[in-house]
Structure 1
Amino acid sequence: MAITKTHATDALQVGDAFDFSDLSSPVDGALEMFPEVEVAVQAATASARTAISMCYSMNSLRKIAEGKAVRGKFTSEAQDCLRAALLFSGAGLDTALKRLAGEAIPMLVESDKDVVKKLEEFAEKRISDASGNASPKELIRLLLGTGASPRDVMIKRWIDSLEASSAQSAERVSEIASAVGVVSPDLRKRIAPTKSRSSMLEKAFIARNQIAHELDVTKPEEAARKRLESIRQYRNVDVMISLCQEILDVTQDIVNDVVTRVKAA
């Protein structure tokens, strides 16, 4: 997962376009099978690239205008561009994986035993009451629900539940990956939640959530902020690019895994 032109000491020139290198590419058939999923991945990648390019340009222009050396810490304007790049990447993952669940699960339940098992587990929980017994109300809703069959009704409810909340955590990515039958040991290990929240994907989500929910504003060191105390957390450009790449790469790898299995069915 090499990355090109990411070092602050080897910055892009103003107007140059940044590009990731070695991002996972869609496998054959991905665009044809899940076009709207791939649209989301490609849009997020393009937006992240643009934001990172702007990061370097804004940093250079601001420092040159002030007669400063371009090297060193990036300006606040450049930092905001980096933050935007991570938000774009996370939004792409969220949209792509939810669309993948909606489009792939109806295909996978016809042939993938792991997906069928997950559907059965969801159905069992859905029709059970607090004591673990079958709920008459839920059974009635299932039998009278809109759909060709109770099975179709339950599949739709499962998909709705997967699409209902944000996918901005390793737990949610793992849940959706399980729902679409991802069992690859390497990929499962890569996206699995850890006790220390130390995986690259988890670090990406931590940073993303700090930006999205807290604007990267730091807590004051004392009751009142010191005069020169940093108000917002500083983001290292190389680290931020690596986090964007991890989110985008994981998304495409999950899509590729599903496409490969659907084609082989």
Structure 2
Amino acid sequence: MEKKRWESEGEVRFFESSEELSTGLADYVHHVSESALSERSSFSLALSGGDIPERLGKLARLPYLRTVEWSKWHLFWAEENVVPKRHPDSFYMQAKHHFISKVPIQPAHVVPACHETPGEAAADRYEFSIRQQVKDRTVPASPSSDCPRFDLVLLSLGPRSQVSSLHTDHPVLLEGSQWVAPVSVPGEQRERLTFTLPVINAAANVAIVASGSDVASAFREAMVDQSPMASSPARMIRPADGKLVWFVDAGAASLFSCGGTTASASGESDLMRSACM
């Protein structure tokens, strides 16, 4: 694994394989939880969909199964499909299958997004649930802009540069007061709920997983593209008073020299060499 840092994008951790990335991510989540619990009595973690639920399955194995203080964990969802709770496309159900059912987290500490309730009503209900559970807040710039301060938000980079369910040029990227918003997923009929940017950027720690060659262009765009940030939601993830860490495997980094190939654009070569040397 290699650790590099670009000031504007946070720390980037490179792994040779997806399996090594999963192990590194499990170590990181464990470390962040221990750090949070050294200062307070609970650890709040918000999950996204994509490959995050399956990767968290690592935490259901030794040594984490015995060393993590599971009774103090509180789980939330940064995005969710508006489908029945037991539907295979439910991110809650995926997390339950791969992770939650295999570790001793208290059921009352698992706070899934609202299922089946449509639109703004579902967003409002989930925001209310979060307010009941997450007591820490960021210092508000205005009375309407206070946000919950999650200890960690885990996100997965999509091939269209989306994170959580925040898509390129979507109006929800401009949302400044809601914590949770309903969105329509491009190319799909179903609706989703998503954390808004202020909530994600208020977290103490944010981790973004970039895995596979299908997200290589999106990862390069997030790192070096100079186009307006709204063209890449991933580039808009910039914790205001927290830390951002990228977890990247060789497939996602394949357009960088550290991914085993040569830079495809000469203007990027210096940054690629400094990142991967």
Fold similarity call, TM over 0.5: no
With CA pairs under 8 Å and 6+ residues apart, which has the higher RCO, 1 or 2? 1
Higher Rg:
1
Q: TM-score category by the smaller chain?
A: under 0.3
Higher share of residues assigned strand? 2
Tell me the TM-score normalized by structure 2. 0.22
Tell me the TM-score normalized by structure 1. 0.23
